[in-house]
Structure 1
Amino acid sequence: MLNNPAVDSDLQAAYELQGKKDGITAQEWKTTKLSKWNTAIKGMTVDDNTITFTLGDGSQVTGKYTHVGAVTTTHGEHELQWSKFTSEDEGAWRAVMLMQPEISEDHTALTHFHFRYGNDGFELLQDASVFPTMVAPDTTAAQFAADFAE
């Protein structure tokens, strides 16, 4: 969504403000944020124990997943709780971690959740430098800007 030209232009002032706070250019700040949040997955549907991932080209990857526990990671001063899921289905990612969605009570903040996925177990997925992110389809540039400021 942040690669959408209309949203991008609406966020230019927020990129400039955050870049200034961090002592870097607006473009450097945006590039850093995208490198942490961006993902080739453009949508996700969870239906009971089945997760369907929609990729950028519109193709889908579906698997039945089993909850196998949770893990806590740290990011700065924050402890982050991730639910862990595994799948044995052909073509599905073997390991998926989902973080509890963040939803504001008044629905004005950025509704989003983070996830990680792969085929090489959970240890690699605990890397605190990447946070592939899904946002609600009706997310606005103002909500992104407010989230950046937090």
Structure 2
Amino acid sequence: MNKTKRRLSAIVVLTSVLVLGVLALSTGIASEDSSPLNDWNGTWLNLGTMLDDPAMDSVYEAMTDAANAAAGDGTFTTDDAKSFLYAMHNSNFGDFVIAENKVTYYNTDKTVKCDCEYESAGVETVAFGEEEFNWYKFALTSEDTTCPEYKYLIFTEVHSHEEGMEHFHMRYGNTSFDDLINNTGYAMWYPTFAVEGTTMETVADGYAEGAEMMGAMMLASQGSSLKDTWENFDPAFLPAEIINISGTYTKTGEGIFLDLEGNFIPDFLEQVTGTHTIEQHGSLLKVTDDEGSISQGSTLGNNIMLANAGYMEAEGLGKIGFESVATGMIDEGTQGPEIFLNWIWRIYDSDDNLLFNGAGTQVLKRTGE
């Protein structure tokens, strides 16, 4: 059934503050031949490994001052500022070298971790407000057993700001491109790499110029402490694990309506198919179907709950209201999570008189890349 129209997730507002400041200049086209990584050829320094340098101390102080001035309560510390940048730049390797179709990942002790080969998987443009930038996608082709954790790569273009250091941002993982690009849990995750030869002084100067903006982001994104990886929820309050189910799913199922006496209405028995896109932030969910209808919900352990309510126009009835609730379970399928939902719903006329009850089942299976 048609429900409310889709609206942009609020997380875009926070992320756009970062992205508009560091990515909006990316407008070129990457190579898509036998050397798909040519536009990034060279040795790249992992800025996440440089955040402990004493040259960054003044940056953390400036970020803290900016956040506390905006908050007015003085609760942020330089440790909070450092943790904020650590989470943003987090990665499990050090520098890397790119040559044509190969990426050599190094450990932080400068030893080689693995050599992995890739092919281009296209470009995805991401919009933020009135601006946009491109994620360039690369899929693993080599069979080295040490490479699967880097199965999918996404890169921004190499860029600089006001003649500052040349750098780019990336993400990596073994789930899917959709997960890396659209998972709201990664909204503040931007491992960043500077061109070989970039000095610590240049790095610190670059961050110092953006310290006020990053302080505002720190304030907007969290409360009084960021000593753990940045999240918009506190895992200590949740007694069970949170399973990541973000992604795109195929939907199959069936539904039935009952009249006010509880009798099935045969003409209203239907089989349903379609797609759902799940956005997840911590335990909270936003689910959008292929008609733009939106449900909200949450997940805890392998349990899931969704709800939806709104109004729509129905031929012969005018404006009618509806409300629906689903509970279900999350299981592990061959391509990722499978979700089993049991729905109940009610339909009301324009005077809020109950017209029908309904029930249905749905199975959601994550789509592959």
Instruction: Specify the TM-score bucket, using the shorter chain as the normaliser.
Output: 0.7 to 0.9
Q: 1:48 to 1:119 in 2, by over 3 A?
A: same
Amino acid at match of 2:160: I
Q: Give the counterpart of 1:13 among 57, 61, 68.
A: 61
Matched, 1:131 2:190: yes
Question: Could you say if the C-alpha distance between residues 79 and 14 of structure 1 is closer, same or farther in structure 2, counting changes exceeding 3 Å?
Answer: same
Aligned to 1:102: 159
Q: Which residue of 1 aligns with 2:167?
A: 112
Q: CA 1:22–1:145 in 2, change beyond 3 Å: closer, same or farther? A: same
Please state how far the C-alpha of 1:76 moved relative to its aligned partner. Answer: 6.6
1:99–1:113 contact (8 Å) kept in structure 2 = yes
Match of 1:64 among 114, 117, 125: 117
Q: Is 1:82 matched with 2:135? A: yes
Please report how far the alpha carbon of residue 116 of structure 1 lies from its aligned counterpart in structure 2 after TM superposition.
0.8
Q: Deviations over 1:107-132 (max 9, x none)?
A: xx243211111111212211323111
- State which drifts further: 70-79 or 35-44: 70-79
Show the counterpart of 1:51: 103
Please name the residue that 2:206 is paired with.
Answer: 143
Larger mean Cα displacement after TM superposition, 48-57 or 93-102? 48-57
Flag the 1:51–1:17 CA change in 2: closer, same or farther, 3 A: same
- 1:122 matched residue in structure 2: 177
Could you list the runs of 4 or more consecutive aligned residues of structure 1 that deviate by over 6 angstroms after TM superposition?
A: none
Letter in 1 for 2:192: T
CA shift for structure 1 position 105: 5.8
In structure 1, the residue matched to 2:126 is: 73
Question: Given residue 207 of structure 2, which amino acid in structure 1 is its aligned partner?
Answer: F
Cα RMSD (Å) = 2.4
Q: 1:83 to 1:96 in 2, by over 3 A?
A: same
Q: Which runs of 5+ in 2 are unaligned?
A: 1-49, 214-369
Which residue number in structure 2 is paired with residue 27 of structure 1? Answer: 79
Q: Which consecutive unaligned segments of at least 5 residues does structure 1 have?
A: none
Partner of 2:52: 3
Contact 2:156/2:170 (8 A) holds in 1: yes
Contact 2:88 2:190 in 1 (8 A): yes
Q: 1:61 to 1:78 in 2, by over 3 A?
A: farther
User: Partners of 2:56 and 2:121 in 1: how far apart?
Assistant: 38
Identical-pair percentage: 22
Residue deviations 1:29-64 (CA, integer Å, cap 9, x gap)? 331222112222221211111111212243322111
Partners of 1:103 and 1:51 in 2: how far apart? 22
SS of alignment partner, residue 45 of structure 1? strand
Aligned length: 147
The 2-side partners of 1:76 and 1:40 are apart by: 31
| Structure 2 CA distance for aligned equivalents of residues 148 and 101 of structure 1 | 21
For the 8 Å contact 2:55–2:200, the answer to whether it is kept is no
2:125/2:132 contact within 8 Å kept: yes
Q: Give the Å deviation of 1:139.
A: 4.2
Q: Which structure has the highest strand share of the two? A: 2
Rg comparison, structure with higher value: 2
Q: Decide whether the 8 Å contact of 1:15 with 1:30 is kept in 2.
A: no
Aligned AA (2:199): D
Give the stretch that moved more between structures: 73-82 or 41-50.
73-82
Q: CA deviation at 1:66?
A: 0.5
Tell me the secondary structure at the aligned position of residue 3 of structure 1. Answer: coil
SS in 2 for 1:131: coil
Range that drifts further, 118-127 or 131-140: 131-140
Change (3 A) 1:149 1:139: farther
Query: What is the TM-score normalised by the length of structure 2?
Result: 0.36
